[in-house]
Amino acid sequence: MGLKQDFNVRRLEDQGRFLAKLILGKEEASYELPPYEEMDNDVDRLYRRILALADKGEINQAENELLESLEEGDFRMFEMALCFYLHLARFDADYLEEHGFSREEVSEGIENLGADFGVSGLEISAGA
C-alpha cells in the first residue's frame, strides 16, 4: 500500500472512529457476525450480503442495498453500516476504481451516515 493510499485509509478510519465515539460512545465501530450455524437477524444477514457483494466488486449494488435498509435511530444498524464503509476504505484505490467506486464516495458515505444519525459537518477529504 502506497504512502498516499495509506494516509487516505487512515483518515477514513479516523472519521469512522470519530463517529463511533460520538454516536456509540465507543472507541471504534466493531460489528461482529455470529457464526453461520448460529441464528442471526436481519441486520446480520444484510451485512453478510453487502460484504459479499462488495468483495465481488458489486460495490454500488451493496451500498444501494444498505441505504434502502438503513433505519435511522437503530444504533446496531448504524454500527454495521459504519463497518461496511470502513471495509470499503481498506480496498485498494485501484480496486475501487475498477468497480465504479472511489475513496471520496466512501468518505461521503461515512459523512452521510453521520448526518443521518445527527452528526453534520463531518467533511474529511479522502482523495484517491
Confidence at residue 60, expressed as pLDDT on a 0 to 100 scale: 97
Residue 98 has pLDDT above 80, yes or no: yes
* Widest CA span in the chain: 41
Residue 44 has pLDDT above 50, yes or no: yes
What average pLDDT score do residues 93-121 get?
91
What one-character-per-residue DSSP string does 3-47 give? Answer: HHHHHHHHHHHHHHHHHIIIIISSSS---PPPPTTS---HHHHHH
Domain boundaries, the chain: 3-31+38-116
Contact between 101 and 60 (Cβ < 8 Å)? yes
Confidence at residue 121, expressed as pLDDT on a 0 to 100 scale: 63
Q: What is the mean pLDDT of the chain?
A: 87
What average pLDDT score do residues 36-50 get?
85
Residue 125 has pLDDT above 50, yes or no: no
